[in-house]
């Protein structure tokens, strides 16, 4: 690759902002030295970043060699060390994955600190072939089989700074030739020969075996990944268009989809919308389990009685009416139009007066005479207000949340009582709202389930003389 071709890749495929610094991950090996040399010759403002994983005795020597190379070129050098082996044990990760996470965490932190326009790494064509094969063996879908891209936003590391891979079309043999021709002196990492690591087994065992069937297997896989990348972009456009239609709302740790719309999609689009939802909530989840996607689709096509299932990555799927929730915790999602109070609290209700509730609501009380209340006013009152017979009430009135064993005599049931939990099921009040739902109580009995139903014993009758008016008011 000559400098002109390299610059074209930077501008067209990587869409690099040439005016801002560029953080370059440099291990000291031939790939990263080749990348550094090309970027330096292109005259870009480069920051050389090296992460010492402390996995080999010679890692400190390699860090020093990268620093000398940066100083020789007059470039800024940043270094960080970490105990990757210990991190892998603590977090239950493979050594490879722990090293990858530590390295990218460092690179993007340096990019943010320096106001860099991108992070550059030296992935090349052979890396692409190995990556595609790894995804194939894991049973990945299109998103995995397309492999890596020249430019990518990885939200798990940064939602704005891109990762760029300018050498993605350059083969390892070309890189070694470049290093030789330009008198670069790379360090050689002998762990790259250790076939205990999955990627190394692919490189040294599987790919040579595949080449016995097709000597051009690497080129074929690379062509396939490029073709699939174009198909994937087309699919992404379809997903983006339908996502905007299907997403009802989203918040911290959850999103809500239009259930009926999602159920009406084709199987392929429905599965990809599920993947999109999981990916937005779990951007660090590299391979979304296909079985989890199928389980979610089965839930959508035939919802179970429980209306919720555990999905993947500590995410849950829940259904309420036409709202399909994908969430970390279904029971902690609170709607802004719910008048709630602190669970377990009990407050004496001032009469007349008002009490501030959560989410901007307040409960207002007022006393009056039955002559002030017309029959039309009683019949046309909204669920957010109630009229009670004062002479049937016991002081003090209390506002509280539910207790074990609570029963309720809903207006219109002729004095019959039922469990409050059963009443809420009949009213389709979501389970996640029940712990904090306010109840007006008199003499230990529920007089009004706020925003829902008055209790039969406290209703206004033909003998009522004085009334208590209760009204929920939202914030303006």
What are 17-26's pLDDT values in tens digits? 888 999 999 9
Percentage of residues in the chain with pLDDT exceeding 70?
99
Q: Give 75-112 pLDDT, tens digit per residue.
A: 999 999 998 898 888 888 888 889 999 999 999 999 99
Mean pLDDT, the chain, whole residue set: 91
The domains found in the chain, sorted by start residue, are: 3-213 (3.40.50.620), 225-332 (1.20.59.20), 346-473 (3.50.40.10)
Task: Supply the DSSP string of 136-185, one letter for each residue.
Answer: HHTT--HHHHT---SEE--TTT-SSSPEE-TTTT--HHHHHHHHHHTT--
- How far is residue 354's CA from residue 362's CA, in Å, rounded to a whole number? 7
pLDDT of amino acid 476:
61
- DSSP, collapsed to helix, strand or coil, labels residue 320 as strand
- The alpha carbon of residue 326 and the mean position of all alpha carbons in its chain are separated, in whole angstroms, by 10
Q: Give 327-341 pLDDT, tens digit per residue.
A: 998 888 887 788 999
pTM reported for the whole predicted model = 0.73
pLDDT of amino acid 379:
65
Using alpha carbons, list the distances in angstroms from residue 19 to 15, 141, 165: 12, 37, 18
Q: In 262-276, which positions are buried (b, 16+ CB within 10 angstroms) versus exposed (e)?
A: beebeeebbbbbbbb
**Higher pLDDT among residues 442 and 428, named by residue:** 442
Q: Give 312-369 pLDDT, tens digit per residue.
A: 878 999 998 899 999 998 888 887 788 999 999 999 999 999 999 988 899 999 998 8
Instruction: With a cut of 90, say whether residue 447 has pLDDT above it.
Output: yes
Instruction: With a cut of 80, say whether residue 179 has pLDDT above it.
Output: yes
- How far is residue 319's CA from residue 330's CA, in Å, rounded to a whole number? 10
Q: Is 443 left (phi over 0), alpha (psi -120 to 50) or beta?
A: left
Mean pLDDT of 53-70: 90
- How far is residue 131's CA from residue 149's CA, in Å, rounded to a whole number? 11
pLDDT of amino acid 119:
98
- How far is residue 276's CA from residue 108's CA, in Å, rounded to a whole number? 24
Mean pLDDT of 133-149: 89
Q: Is the CB of residue 446 less than 8 Å from the CB of residue 397? A: no
pLDDT confidence band for 380 (50 / 70 / 90): low
pLDDT of amino acid 188:
82
pLDDT of amino acid 322:
92
Mean pLDDT of 170-183: 96
Percentage of residues in the chain with pLDDT exceeding 90?
69
Instruction: With a cut of 70, say whether residue 259 has pLDDT above it.
Output: yes
Instruction: With a cut of 80, say whether residue 288 has pLDDT above it.
Output: no
Instruction: With a cut of 90, say whether residue 264 has pLDDT above it.
Output: yes
pLDDT of amino acid 300:
95
Mean pLDDT of 370-377: 75
Q: Is the CB of residue 145 less than 8 Å from the CB of residue 231? A: no
* E strand or H helix at 366: strand 362-369
Burial (0-12, 13-18, 19+ Cβ within 10 Å), 152: exposed
Q: Which range is least confidently modeled, 170-174, 296-300, 413-417? A: 413-417
* Tokens (6 digits) for 286: 């590299």
Tokens 């350059």 correspond to 170
């Amino acid at each position: 690759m000559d400098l002109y071709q390299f610059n074209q890749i930077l501008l067209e495929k990587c869409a690099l902002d040439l005016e801002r610094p560029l953080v370059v991950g440099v291990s000291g090996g031939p790939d990263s030295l080749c990348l550094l040399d090309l970027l330096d010759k292109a005259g870009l403002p480069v920051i050389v970043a090296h992460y010492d994983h402390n996995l080999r005795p010679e890692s400190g020597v390699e860090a020093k060699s990268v620093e000398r190379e940066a100083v020789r070129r007059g470039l800024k050098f940043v270094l960080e060390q970490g105990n990757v082996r210990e991190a892998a044990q603590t977090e239950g990760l493979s050594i490879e994955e722990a090293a990858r996470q530590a390295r990218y965490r460092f690179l993007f932190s340096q990019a943010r600190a320096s106001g860099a326009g991108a992070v550059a790494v030296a992935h090349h064509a052979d890396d692409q072939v190995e990556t595609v094969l790894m995804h194939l063996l894991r049973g990945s879908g299109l998103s995995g089989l397309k492999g890596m891209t020249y430019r990518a936003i990885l939200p798990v590391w940064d939602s704005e700074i891109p990762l760029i891979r300018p050498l993605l079309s350059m083969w390892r043999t070309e890189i070694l030739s470049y290093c030789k021709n330009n008198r670069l002196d790379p360090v050689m990492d002998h762990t790259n020969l250790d076939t205990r690591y999955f990627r190394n087994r692919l490189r040294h065992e599987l790919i040579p075996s595949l080449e016995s069937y097709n000597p051009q297997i690497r080129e074929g896989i690379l062509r396939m990944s490029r073709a699939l990348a174009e198909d994937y972009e087309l699919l992404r456009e379809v997903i983006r268009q339908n996502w905007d239609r299907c997403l009802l709302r989203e918040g911290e740790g959850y999103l809500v989809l239009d259930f009926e719309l999602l159920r009406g999609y084709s199987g392929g689009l429905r599965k990809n919308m599920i993947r999109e939802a999981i990916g937005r909530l779990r951007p660090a989840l590299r391979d979304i389990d296909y079985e989890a996607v199928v389980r979610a689709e089965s839930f959508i096509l035939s919802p179970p009685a429980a209306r919720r299932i555990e999905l993947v990555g500590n995410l849950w799927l829940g259904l309420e009416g036409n709202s399909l929730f994908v969430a970390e915790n279904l029971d902690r999602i609170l709607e802004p139009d719910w008048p709630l109070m602190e669970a377990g609290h009990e407050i004496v209700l001032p009469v007349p007066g008002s009490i501030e509730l959560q989410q901007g609501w307040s409960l207002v009380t007022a006393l009056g005479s039955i002559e002030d209340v017309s029959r039309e006013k009683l019949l046309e009152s909204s669920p957010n207000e109630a009229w009670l017979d004062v002479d049937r009430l016991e002081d003090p009135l209390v506002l509280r949340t539910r207790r074990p064993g609570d029963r309720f005599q809903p207006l219109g049931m002729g004095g019959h009582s039922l469990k409050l939990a059963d009443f809420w099921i009949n009213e389709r009040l979501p389970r996640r709202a029940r712990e904090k739902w306010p109840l007006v109580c008199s003499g230990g009995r529920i007089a009004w389930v706020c925003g829902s139903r008055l209790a039969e014993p406290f209703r206004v009758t033909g003998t009522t003389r004085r009334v208590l008016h209760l009204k929920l008011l939202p914030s303006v």
